[in-house]
Chains A and B, each alone.
Chain A
């Protein structure tokens, strides 16, 4: 029977219900509008270090007049120098590689947790996502001591006699990938585990009953049913990884190009706010497609 609520009777008055909306418009929507606006400003060394292309306090007529002063210099600047283009491409490449590695580690891991019996299963699951709750910064920091040229990994490998000269991992893209995979692994495990855990055990029994080998049952039943979880996990890793700052900054080398770091440098060191804003807006545009997929996935999840 269709039962739509006829009158919406909520426990809270409308003005309270609209508070989050107002807050969101103010602090989650308006900032992007302003970033877009500043990306269209001319760079200047004043404080704040940009020369506004228009001023809200000056009224609409003025706004219209000054609108012609919009400058695409900042965007032009992004493409004048290949350093930004390289940074975007390098970020996408590193994020994609990290996402793939995280998936390859997380899937069998999540599958193994989902196979555990009784009380062991939730315990393993909590242990698998627990590192997420500890400081991100600290977890990245932990890898510096391991990956450095004179770090624990090289010590161990030399002591084992596997290598004679220390490996150069620290300050390379490999170190960044390791850092991203390590830091974002819980985000990959969580949705995959949820997708696997809710699968009915009878499905695999039915597949076996109908003659499928365990491997075929996995490929034809378990895997397809877990794909939404896999997709969600990949997006949860990929999107933030593209704009990652801390990991390339701490584990990467001075020549590491990732757009999050480039933006940071542009902003804090070069104090070129329009350039940093333009880079941020462009990054947002680049991420719009995966964000849209992620949003649709969330909405689909909500419906079930």
Chain B
């Protein structure tokens, strides 16, 4: 693997008594689309602002291609940022906004003109060069902000909630647009977002952050399928958590007694007899049948969501679980409704043992 573009080591930032970023270490590879995902207040924005130079870390190192960035003021850092508010200069037109960074570099006029034209091409805004920001739609503003940040050809582009201000339909189109631009330029992108769908859709790797700490880093599939803990499991998608006790381990299998009132086998032998564990199961993995094995449950309600239906089921111990079911024609016409008695089973292959 090639050298990382950006390497953060044990980066820490405190605001008074609150530790916003706590000993964070991560690498961003050349040409990578990286997402920093977490709920609001988890420190992801502070982390990004430290990379851009707007906050000073209390300790730790920000290393860009082998060079320590800490003594470098924001205006000399070879990273650029796309602001959540876009921060387009309202007194300059689109062209001058995009050219702003190039003018600061003191590039010759002709070169600036070519690069601005290239950028307008890239974000498909040809013909709008003379517009002022207040004459643009939300989506156009977003593209200008992107073009302006990319015009300087940064090693690393930071994007602060790039899609948050767009409406839902536009957001999906823009996701693909951002991915196309990132592929075309081959630059590294680091997106900060609180939206897990957005992170999953765009990023090659995701870092999930909580309370200043990175809980897990990995490709979307890994984070989704092998969440490191209950927080990650719950934050990325929906999840059902079943507390269980290990009652026996033998022949490469473990026997679990679930609080929900049934027992099942798990094909692994590395568990301690008597220990209490948590089983995590995605709603789409939960098997729900009208009759048969498993825990007896009662349907509380069922919502039709188009391609799937989501059903909430109460188990004998009072726990409420969610089950998703594809509404494909081949799955038949069985629709669960409130009050139905059902049987809930956990397919052993779909259950993951989590540290809480």
* A contact set with B: CB distance below 8 Å: 1-7, 9
Contact = CB atoms under 8 A, between A and B. Distances in A.
Nearest to A2: B15
B41 A7 contact: no
B40 interface: yes
Contact of A9 (B15, B16, B45, B73): B73
Nearest to A4: B15
A1 B46 contact: yes
A4 B74 CA distance: 16
A9 B41 CA distance: 24
Interface in B41-68: 41, 45-46, 49, 54-56
B56 A2 contact: no
Nearest to B42: A1
Contact of A6 (B40, B45, B56): B56
Contacts of B55: 3, 6
User: Which A-B residue pairs are the 10 nearest by beta carbons?
Assistant: A6-B56, A6-B55, A2-B15, A1-B41, A7-B56, A1-B45, A4-B15, A1-B40, A2-B18, A1-B46
A3 B20 CA distance: 10
Contacts of B46: 1, 3
A42 B247 CA distance: 101
A292 B73 CA distance: 41
B334 to A, nearest CB: 46
A8 to B, nearest CB: 11
Question: At the interface, is chain A mostly helix, strand, loop or mixed?
Answer: loop
B212 to A, nearest CB: 11
A1 B74 CA distance: 21
Interface in B213-249: none
Q: Which of A1, A3, A4, A9 has the most CB of B within 10 A?
A: A1
Contacts of B54: 5-6
21 contacts: A1-B20, A1-B40, A1-B41, A1-B45, A1-B46, A2-B15, A2-B16, A2-B18, A2-B20, A3-B45, A3-B46, A3-B49, A3-B55, A4-B15, A5-B54, A6-B54, A6-B55, A6-B56, A7-B56, A9-B73, A9-B74
Nearest to B56: A6
Contacts of B56: 6-7
Interface in B249-296: none
Nearest to B43: A1
Nearest to A7: B56
Contacts of B40: 1
Nearest to B13: A6
Given A1-B20, A9-B74, 14 more contacts: A1-B40, A1-B41, A1-B45, A1-B46, A2-B16, A2-B20, A3-B45, A3-B49, A3-B55, A4-B15, A5-B54, A6-B56, A7-B56, A9-B73
A244 B54 CA distance: 50
Contacts of A9: 73-74
Contacts of A7: 56
B141 to A, nearest CB: 23
A2 B212 CA distance: 13
Interface in B1-59: 15-16, 18, 20, 40-41, 45-46, 49, 54-56
Interface in B74-131: 74
Nearest to B73: A9
Contacts of B73: 9
Contacts of B16: 2
A5 B15 CA distance: 10
A4 B17 CA distance: 13
A153 B55 CA distance: 68
Contacts of A5: 54
B45 to A, nearest CB: 6
A2 B15 CA distance: 8
Nearest to B15: A2
A9 B52 CA distance: 14
A4 B20 CA distance: 12
A9 B74 CA distance: 10
A267 B41 CA distance: 63
B84 to A, nearest CB: 12
A3 B16 CA distance: 11
Contacts of A4: 15
A116 B317 CA distance: 63
A177 to B, nearest CB: 47
A9 B55 CA distance: 11
B50 to A, nearest CB: 9
Nearest to B58: A6
A51 B73 CA distance: 58
A5 B73 CA distance: 14
A158 B45 CA distance: 76
A9 B16 CA distance: 20
A5 to B, nearest CB: 8
A54 to B, nearest CB: 48
Interface-centre pick from B55, B73, B74 (highest chain A CB count, 10 A): B55
Contacts of B15: 2, 4
A2 B74 CA distance: 20
B144 to A, nearest CB: 24
A2 B73 CA distance: 22
Contacts of B74: 9
A4 B14 CA distance: 11
A4 B15 CA distance: 8
A147 B93 CA distance: 57
A9 B54 CA distance: 9
A9 B75 CA distance: 11
B190 to A, nearest CB: 18
A1 B54 CA distance: 15
A225 to B, nearest CB: 30
